[in-house]
Amino acid sequence: MTLFEPKIVALLCNWCAYDGADAAGRARLDIPPHVREVRVMCSGQVSPGMVLKAFEAGADGVIVLGCQPGDCHYKEGNLHALKRIVLLRSVLNPTPVDPQRLQLDWVSAGQGHRYAQVVRDMVKRITALGPLPSGHFREER
Ligand code: FES
């Protein structure tokens, strides 16, 4: 029996979440190896197409991490991200793809512990859900 090892894409805003991930690394916190981090300038830059592309490319889960509300360097980018992710999750809802596979959260630059916890929670959630059902975002191989 092979153990399911989830693949998770984390889209991290450059100004807060990416530094939070860096802080977690510098502190040598326990971070699961299942996450592929992609730096974006702002969580508000993350389009539905980027999220769907990550699923199509093989991700079992996608997490978008931006600055805490009120701290976005582009003023309201993270609020735009919130609206987009809520909409995208509602689009996923009637499909066999569980909306829990897409998460949005906030991590500031100094919150290495928060970053590590958010990632651990996501890995736990996706591990419980199992692999993304094939045929919805990716072709059977
Ligand atoms: Fe971080 Fe906008 S710059 S969410």
Q: Can you list the domains of the chain with their CATH numbers? A: 8-129 (3.40.50.960)
Classify residue 87 by its DSSP letter: H
| Span 36-76, pLDDT tens digits | 999 999 999 999 999 999 999 999 999 999 999 999 999 99
What is the C-alpha separation between 78 and 43, in angstroms, rounded? 5
**Where do the H-state alpha helices sit in the chain?**
17-26, 48-56, 77-92, 112-129
Look up residue 108 and give its two tokens. 């500031």
Q: Are 13 and 40 in contact (CB under 8 A)?
A: yes
Q: Is any ligand 1 atom within 6 A of the Cβ of residue 66?
A: yes
Pocket test for ligand 1, best of 38, 45, 71 (most atoms within 8 A of CB): 71
The answer to whether the CB of 24 falls within 8 A of the CB of 115 is: yes
* 112 Cβ closer than 6 Å to some ligand 1 atom: no
Tokens of 75: 């003023």
Whether 108 lines ligand 1, by a CB cut-off of 6 Å, is no
Strands 102-106, 35-40: parallel, antiparallel or unpaired by DSSP? Answer: unpaired
> Which regions in the chain score pLDDT beneath 50?
140-141
Distance of CA 106 to the CA centre of its chain: 11
pTM across the whole model = 0.90
Task: Find the 15 Cα to ligand 1 centroid distance in Å.
Answer: 6
pLDDT for 141: 46
Burial-class residue 94 by CB neighbours within 10 Å (0-12, 13-18, 19+): exposed
